[in-house]
Structure 1
C-alpha cells in the first residue's frame, strides 16, 4: 500500500527495494525556505542494519502489509522471546533484536501487540504504561511531599527511573514504557 512519506510513523513497516524496514523515528521538517521533507530512520528487519532516508513529504512510500495481533508473553530463553496468540493459542518466537529495548518491560502474561508479516514478527508494541515495584532508592524524606525534585530509583525489572521523594522501597508505581519515566503511584 503506497502512502505519502509525511504519514509514516514510528513502528510502521516499510517495503523498500524488496526489503522490509521498521521505522525507528520519523520527523517532518518544514524549513522556512525550500521543500518540506520527512526524515525517517529505519532498521532493516533481515539483518538489523540502520539507515536514514529523507523524502519529500509528498513522495510515495510503500508500506508493507502487516497484521497486528495481541500476544501474551510467556518466557525468554537463549533463542529469543516466546509469545502466545490469545485467540489461536499458537506460540511464536521473537528474536532479541526485534524486541530490543522493550525486553526489560516484558513480564509473564503481559499482553503486547506484535506486528506479523508473512508469519514472522517484525515489531512489538508494549502497553503505554506498566506497573512496577521500586526495589532500590534513597530513604523517604519526611516533609517532602510536594517537592518538584526527583531521586533515582531502580525498579523490579532493573530499569533506572526518577521518582518523587515520597516514594520508598516496595512502593508500586506506574511508569511509561517508552522511556521509563514515573507517572504516578499505583492504585492497586
Structure 2
C-alpha cells in the first residue's frame, strides 16, 4: 500500500510541476502577444492570444486541481509527516491555495480576453465557459438580491443588486 501511495504522490507532484511551470511560462508570452495585437492590430496576434490564453486558463485550473490533490495526499497518505511538520508546511500551502483562487477569480472576472471580443469598440462576451467565476458571480448576485428583497422595509430592491454587479 505504501508503494501505491508513493506512486500516486509522485505522479501528482510531477503533473503539478508541469502545469505550474507551463502556466508561469505562458504568462509573459500571452502578455507580449496581447500587447503586440493592441499596438499593431494584426489578426494573427489576436488569434495567437486567444489560443494560448485558453491553454493558459486550462493549465492554471489543472495546476490548482493538482495542488489541492497534493494537499489532501499530505493529510491522508503522509499523516505522520503532517503531524510533525504540519505547522511548517500548513500555512504556506494554505496561503498558496487561497492566493491561487483569488488570482483565478480576479483575472477571470470579465477581464480575460479569452471569453470576449471587441466589436465596434464594445466588449462582447462570446463564451462564458472559460470564465470560471461566472457561476459563482451569478450565485452571488442571486443571493444578494434575495437577501435584499427579504427585508420588509426594502421590498422591490431586487433589480438593484444585479445592477451593482
TM-score normalized with structure 1 length: 0.25
Higher helix residue share: 2
Report the structure, 1 or 2, having the larger strand content.
1
Greater CA radius of gyration, 1 or 2?
2
